[in-house]
Amino acid sequence: SVVHAADQLILAGQLLDVQNGELKRNQAILVQDQRIVEILPVRQLSTEQRAIPTLDLSGYTVLPGLIDMHVHLTSNPQQHGFRRLNSTPARQAIFGVTAAEVTLQAGFTTVRNVGAAGFADVDLRNAIDEGEIQGPRMRVAGHSICITGGHCDNNLLPHTYAATGFGVANSPDEVRTRVRENMKYGANLIKFTATGGVLSRNTDVNASQFSLAEMQALVAEAHDRGARVAAHAHGLHGMKRAIEAGVDSIEHASFLNDEILAMAAERGTYLVMDIYVSDYILSEGEAAGILPESLAKERQVGQLQRENFRRAVAAGVNMAYGTDAGVYTHGQNARQFGYMVEWGMTPLQAIQSATLHAATLLNWRNEQGQLNVGLLEPGAYADLVAVEGNPLQNIRLLEAIPVVVKGGKQVN
Ligand code: ARG
């Protein structure tokens, strides 16, 4: 048998296989250059392998590092509404340094950042990759793309100020330009808004944004460049149009119905439903500057979204874990697990949504075409978390993770 060179050894008391929910006892993970090279039972380790620098997690249950598919690391949850006007992309990037660190410490070793102003997310990702600051592996969208007056536009000031969001586009050609621009400046994926939003001023969560032709142009352009597409959508018609246009995921999906579920099932579209954040918006939102009209919209969205989450789970469509951290406190990304179990998932399904299924939607692969993250297998990064006890019995163990490992090294 092949003997792999390894620079790290991690011992796991129990190892959760997220593909089938099996817990395997006493496993050894061999790591070389941040990636897993082999997993074998501890008793099969050679004398040489036992001498490799070791992280002993034999008292823990080990699972893949968690993935949050909907975050805004550059957003300050204390600065909603008009307070947003008082910061620049540079200021937001500086805020993001701390947000990235607490997110990683919470066990989220990968995040998909779905929109940031002035490419602050690209800079944050690069600073993490270059080892300047600590944070999760980031896949970033750059500028969120929307119509004039849409969810990503700046709708807070009157016409005299001529304030416009970075990603505004109003025709198939302009949409293509925005996609190309995002890719030029370092985005890994494309995010656009297919309906109004809760937190944007003067937008209607039920109203569609972009025509089908615009959405099709956006998806074609993104897919041509190998980028996946995430569509923000609360309302039915925008959701339907986005799925028809071929997006890879629907974010929020609040008002879904059976037709949407059937379409998503047929096309394999993922739903990323942020069912925790409503609690923050309705309890702390006013003090954080959220506008009264947004609070009113949230009261129409939050509860229905949870009920529809239950329907989506029952329908068996693809679902990935996304929280909208940034709207609420960074580092509390795991709070949504308990809600997902309360609203119909098994603990294993909830964990899969934040590991294997998230990674499959992310589609981030190594040179051999294997997933980089989301599972513990040779070829993947040695990103993992360890908890005392069994998260399949108590999902809320993930809210306070004692050991976080990124690239084979403990980071907390
Ligand atoms: N960013 C989203 C929006 O403004 C947040 C929605 C939060 N509410 C919810 N129930 N998921 O539309």
Ligand 1 neighbour 198 (Cβ under 6 A): yes
Ligand 1 neighbour 251 (Cβ under 6 A): no
Ligand 1 neighbour 273 (Cβ under 6 A): no
Residue with the bigger pLDDT between 294 and 4: it is 294
> Which amino acid belongs to residue 187?
A
Is 288 in contact with 77 (CB distance < 8 Å)? yes
Domain boundaries in the chain?
A: 8-65+375-410, 66-342
Ligand 1 neighbour 301 (Cβ under 6 A): yes
Ligand 1 neighbour 298 (Cβ under 6 A): yes
Q: What is the crossing angle of helices 258-267 and 236-245, to 10°?
A: 20
Which is it for strands 137-140 and 190-193: parallel, antiparallel or unpaired? unpaired
Q: How far apart are CA 77 and CA 401, in angstroms?
A: 22
The predicted model scores a pTM of 0.98
Task: Give the residue carrying structure tokens 């969208």.
Answer: 141
The pLDDT of residue 191 is: 98
pLDDT per position as a tens digit, 218-265: 999 999 999 999 999 999 999 999 999 999 999 999 999 999 999 999
Ligand 1 neighbour 324 (Cβ under 6 A): yes
Residue 30 is encoded by which pair of tokens? 């061999």
Is 162 in contact with 148 (CB distance < 8 Å)? no
Is 134 in contact with 412 (CB distance < 8 Å)? no
Distance, CA 122 to ligand 1 centroid (Å)?
Answer: 23
The pLDDT of residue 1 is: 61
Is 320 in contact with 273 (CB distance < 8 Å)? no
- Of 218, 135, 229, nearest to 188 by C-alpha is 229
Residue 204 has pLDDT above 80, yes or no: yes
Mean pLDDT of the chain: 98
Ligand 1, residues 277, 279, 280: which to mutate, most atoms within 8 A of Cβ? 277
Ligand 1 neighbour 191 (Cβ under 6 A): no
Can you tell me which atom of ligand 1 is nearest the CA of 232? Answer: 12
Is 348 in contact with 341 (CB distance < 8 Å)? no
Q: How far apart are CA 2 and CA 19, in angstroms?
A: 25
Q: Whose alpha carbon is nearest atom 10 of ligand 1?
A: 302
Provide ipTM, 2 decimals. Answer: 0.98
Q: How far apart are CA 48 and CA 43, in angstroms?
A: 13
Residue 297 is encoded by which pair of tokens? 């919209």
Residue 393 is encoded by which pair of tokens? 């019995």
Residue 2 has pLDDT above 80, yes or no: no
Can you tell me which atom of ligand 1 is nearest the CA of 197? Answer: 12
Q: How far apart are CA 275 and CA 292, in angstroms?
A: 20
Q: How far apart are CA 147 and CA 194, in angstroms?
A: 9
Distance, CA 68 to ligand 1 centroid (Å)?
Answer: 15
The pLDDT of residue 214 is: 98
Residue 3 has pLDDT above 90, yes or no: no
- Superfamily (CATH) of domain 66-342: Metal-dependent hydrolases (3.20.20.140)
Runs of H (alpha helix) within 316-364: 335-342, 347-353, 356-362
Runs of H (alpha helix) within 285-399: 292-315, 335-342, 347-353, 356-362
Ligand 1 neighbour 107 (Cβ under 6 A): no
Distance, CA 273 to ligand 1 centroid (Å)?
Answer: 9
Distance, CA 162 to ligand 1 centroid (Å)?
Answer: 26
pLDDT band, residue 9 (cuts 50/70/90): very high
- Of 75, 55, 62, 25, nearest to 388 by C-alpha is 62
Fold of 8-65+375-410: Urease, subunit C; domain 1 (2.30.40)
The pLDDT of residue 295 is: 98
Q: 197: which residues sit within 8 A by CB, 6+ positions away?
A: 151, 203, 205, 232, 234
- Of 284, 274, 286, 364, nearest to 71 by C-alpha is 274
Can you tell me which atom of ligand 1 is nearest the CA of 205? Answer: 12
Is 258 in contact with 239 (CB distance < 8 Å)? no
pLDDT per position as a tens digit, 356-412: 999 999 999 999 999 999 999 999 999 999 999 999 999 999 999 999 999 999 999
Ligand 1 neighbour 272 (Cβ under 6 A): no
Distance, CA 181 to ligand 1 centroid (Å)?
Answer: 26
Q: 287: which residues sit within 8 A by CB, 6+ positions away?
A: none
The pLDDT of residue 4 is: 86
Concatenate the DSSP letters of all residues of 25-46 into one string.
Answer: EEEEEEEETTEEEEEEEGGG--
pLDDT per position as a tens digit, 280-338: 999 999 999 999 999 999 999 999 999 999 999 999 999 999 999 999 999 999 999 99
Burial call 236-258: b when 16+ CB within 10 Å, e when fewer: bebbbbbbebbbbbbbbbbbbee
